[in-house]
Amino acid sequence: MADLTRIARIMAEAVNGQGRPSLPERLCVACVQALAVESAAITLMADPDHRAGVWATDERARRMEERQFSLGEGPGVDAFRSRRPVVVADFLASEEVRWPVLVVDLASSAPANRVLRSVYAAPLHLGTSGIGVLSLYRSQPGVPGPDETADIQVAATSVTLAVVGSFIGPSGKLPAQPWLDDPPLNSVEVDQAVGMIMVQLGVPAAEALDRLRAHAFAHGREIDEVAHDVVERRMRFTEEDR
């Protein structure tokens, strides 16, 4: 079992850092330093269809988070919805059928030796209020043992308290956070695009988001990219897209 004092110190150093990189980015790096994982990502969200942003230690972890949001399925989505950790021993295992579209997408998008094979997705929540998910990745298949799981929960709790605490100033008010002013992924444009598709097709928001996701998947693009084209009026959904 890792030294919990060491984990607490590493997480505290990330919280106490200033400026760039942003707080979530520092927390991701701290998780990799403190735990036996290769990559980490923090996704903040109000619900699985509305993100405040995604921060990651590297492009592989960032893509894993992007693909889950684009496809609307995956361990992070399930962890947020259930408020329980979701563990994947091997995304490419033949018996892994919980998220068939995601698994096929991962298997076809990169060589097997470049895929992050295992993940521990820990929900970030206070009581019944969810704020997001901490995802911890490895290239090798496997699941953490009991001691590692305890260490991960300490790190996840530290991340939750750090993010929530960053919104509360000395007076107890809720100041705007500079690291949310320019999130790495533009969830605002996704919401705007959904609104425009609702008007273009005359469908409810849930169906408009499904259409956006389906188009992104069919053309091998991220949902943020397609949303940007819709908002910039370079793309319009028509009856043929229904």
HSE-CB of 232 using CA atoms within 13 angstroms: 7
Q: Which option is the CATH number for 187-236: 1.10.10, 1.10.287, 2.40.128, 1.10.1760?
A: 1.10.10
Domain range summary for the chain, segments of one domain joined by +: 4-166, 187-236
Residues 27-53, mean pLDDT to the nearest whole number: 88
Bridge partners, 135 (sequence order): 41, 121
Topology of the domain covering 4-166: Beta-Lactamase (3.30.450)
Token couple for 242: 């229904």
Q: For residue 37, is pLDDT > 90? A: yes
Residue 217 sits at the vertex; the CA angle it makes with 235 and 95, to the nearest 5 degrees, is 170
Q: Rounded distance, CA 184 to CA 225, Å?
A: 13
What global pTM score does this model have? 0.75
Q: Give the residue with greater pLDDT, 147 vs 208.
A: 147
Please choose, from the candidates 219, 200, 231, the residue with its C-alpha nearest in 3D space to the C-alpha of residue 70. Answer: 219
Q: For residue range 15-33, what is the model confidence (pLDDT) as tens digits?
A: 887 667 788 899 999 999 9
Token couple for 148: 């590692």
* Helix, strand or coil, per DSSP, at residue 39: strand
